[in-house]
Amino acid sequence: MNDVTTQIITGGDVLVDTLIAHGVDTAFTVSGESFLAVLEALRRKRNSISLITTRHEGGGAFAAEAFGKLSGRPAALFVSRGPGATNAAIGVHTAKQDSTPMLLFVGHVPSTSQGREAFQEIDLAAMFRPIAKAVLQPNSADQVAIVTARAVALAVAGRPGPVVVVLPRDLTDGAVRQPAIPRPGQRQAVTPDGGALDRAARMIAAAKRPLLLSGEIVAIQDAAAALVTLAEATGAPVMTTYRRQDTFPNDHGAYAGHLEINRLPYQRQALTDADLLIAVGSRMDGISAEDGALPRQHQNLLQIYPGESVLAHCQATLPLLSDPAAACLALAQNLAAPAASVIGEISAWRGELHQAYLNSSKPGAVAVHGTVDLSLIAGEVQRQAPPETVILTDGGSFARWIHRFYRFRQAHSQAGPISGAMGYGVPGAIGARLARPGCPVIAFVGDGGFMMTGQELVTAVEQNMDLVVVVCDNGVHGSILEGQRQRFGPEHIYGTRLSRPDFAAVARAYGCAAWTVERNADFPAALHGAMTHTGPALIHLVTDDRDIAPFDKGPDAV
């Protein structure tokens, strides 16, 4: 008997063919009956596009986000309507705030049932529009390829972001009469206007203490080398914005640290002393910009960004619409040479800031209460892990130890959610491993975050992925508990303590190698064992709930 399905080209077929033609080679899913034709098409083309089945849509979304963040290319996530879409929303929001290219395809109710509150129906456009770059839906099976191609292009255009495509089941099941696949185009470069470039060069030349702030588009567009060129041309120090430490080599003499939730005294002083802030590829998110406190009244802000809406919201002194690499290289070439006295002053200031960064990031610089010092843990990872290792940090206060004491030396070596979404680390490590297959991957995750998506270790086992997960277990929701301590007193801690399962035993049950570490001295051997193990490995790191963050107690300490 002939298989009639091979005689029909469905909407699912052209969707998958379009993804492949447009360079999408990685997909994640929690399968659903609302997109069976897509799954069949993915099966047929499994040699051209990889499909990884995660255990939860939120895990799949985080994995896709990490893939896009580290590769600059979108991965696709396929989920079903209703519960599948709502579960995936956390990753869409993360991708939007991080400017990460990502594709979410939602198998939906048949088009004839839409608007009638069918089983599991949600108004997906209304739901996703505030947290996605765009929400698209084809109106016929013949439009599936066109809409898919548009989604891929939108995900990487200008400011990258997540694009959601709603797929009524009858359209992916239905026959396509005109199965032509749209030809892929090149991303349209955003180049700086000559007049604005001249004004920016004059603004930089007039500054006595310019400070560069390096952001997300530098990472996405691989513009770190161009930023180094601008930093050396201006002599200005560089601070990286929140969770973007890999956008500038931390061992470079211009590096002045990371704009963490907590600011060290030398950073606060530098952010006051600067007369010009140059935000390169940063949307100036809430943490980096201190909830709008930057720029201060005496400061000018030059913002270089490829998205008009971001520039409109920030209202910089001089908004420069451009991809960061193009602007950095043009400015470095066109800058007028400042007076020798100004060069000397900027150079001395930069040297002071870099030395202050080096002093503040030495492991052991902060006294701890427990038998595990996360600064020493970060230092040991620095010693054992090669520079190309991808370090992921989940949402949680423990991440501030890694941010402060681990020095990122190469581009595309950091991933974490600007949104602070817990549960990112384990699935993010899977996405990182696929995006950077030749690089080791180490994910730091809190006990709370692990309990949200730690089951994705099973996915890593199934895929035989080499990755290391370090569970920083202090048995509490740290930043919230610390806020309770400071605001109400230690006797008012409530709703923030967590039971502490044996995470190593959980990992072994999932099929992973695992170690438990309760003292600093035991970590080097555990890390070596985990990094040399074939397959996923977990280190259960037991920490003290008094060692929440590596900063002095104060109003901004949590």
Domains and CATH numbers, the chain: 4-173 (3.40.50.970), 194-360 (3.40.50.1220), 374-542 (3.40.50.970)
| pLDDT of amino acid 339 | 59
Q: In what order do the strands lie in the sheet with 76-80?
A: 50-53, 26-29, 76-80, 102-108, 162-168, 134-136
CB 98 within 8 Å of CB 69: yes
d(CA 325, CA 166): 34
pLDDT tens-place string over residues 43-63:
999 999 999 999 999 999 999
Question: Which of 81-90, 245-254, 329-338, 533-542 has the lowest average pLDDT?
Answer: 329-338
49 three-class SS? coil
CB 230 within 8 Å of CB 331: yes
Beta-bridged to residue 516, according to DSSP, are 540
CB 434 within 8 Å of CB 67: yes
Q: What is the pTM of this model?
A: 0.94
Burial group, residue 383, by CB count within 10 angstroms (0-12, 13-18, 19+): exposed
For the chain, the residue count is 558
Q: Which amino acid is at 402?
A: I
When pLDDT is cut at 50, 70 and 90, the band that residue 343 belongs to is confident
d(CA 366, CA 374): 10
Q: What is each CA distance from 93 to 83, 99, 162, 281, 428, in whole angstroms?
A: 16, 10, 8, 19, 15
pLDDT for residue 188 is more than 80 = yes
d(CA 198, CA 17): 45
Cβ-proximal residues to 535 (8 Å cutoff; 6+ apart), any chain: 460, 461, 464, 465, 466, 511, 512, 513
- The DSSP symbol for 45 reads T
> Residue range 98-121: average pLDDT?
82
- The number of beta carbons lying within 10 Å of the beta carbon of residue 3 is 6
Cβ-proximal residues to 497 (8 Å cutoff; 6+ apart), any chain: 475, 476, 481
CB burial string 12-30: b at 16+ within 10 A, e below: bbbbbbbbebbebebbbbb
- Tell me the backbone φ, ψ of residue 298, rounded to 5 degrees: -90, 0
| pLDDT of amino acid 257 | 97
pLDDT for residue 165 is more than 70 = yes
Q: For residue 18, how many C-alpha atoms fall within 13 Å in the half-sphere facing its CB?
A: 27
Q: What share of the chain is helix, strand, coil (3-state, %, to 5)?
A: 45, 15, 40
> Residue range 162-167: average pLDDT?
98
Q: What is each CA distance from 81 to 89, 146, 386, 393, in whole angstroms?
A: 12, 22, 42, 30
| pLDDT of amino acid 558 | 34
When pLDDT is cut at 50, 70 and 90, the band that residue 71 belongs to is very high
399 three-class SS? helix
Q: What is each CA distance from 420 to 111, 136, 288, 395, 482, in whole angstroms?
A: 36, 27, 13, 5, 17
- Tell me the backbone φ, ψ of residue 402, rounded to 5 degrees: -70, -45
CB 29 within 8 Å of CB 49: no
Q: Which amino acid is at 57?
A: E
Nearest to 69 by CA among 218, 188, 219: 219
When pLDDT is cut at 50, 70 and 90, the band that residue 114 belongs to is low
Cβ-proximal residues to 61 (8 Å cutoff; 6+ apart), any chain: 28, 77, 87, 88, 89, 90, 91, 92, 94, 95, 102, 104, 427
Q: Which amino acid is at 189?
A: A
274 three-class SS? coil
Q: What is each CA distance from 436 to 67, 215, 428, in whole angstroms?
A: 8, 21, 12
> Residue range 284-289: average pLDDT?
95
d(CA 89, CA 84): 9
Q: For residue 50, how many C-alpha atoms fall within 13 Å in the half-sphere facing its CB?
A: 11
pLDDT tens-place string over residues 421-453:
999 999 999 999 999 999 999 999 999 999 999
pLDDT tens-place string over residues 197-224:
999 999 999 999 999 999 999 999 999 9
pLDDT for residue 313 is more than 70 = yes
d(CA 249, CA 232): 13
- For the chain, give the mean pLDDT: 93
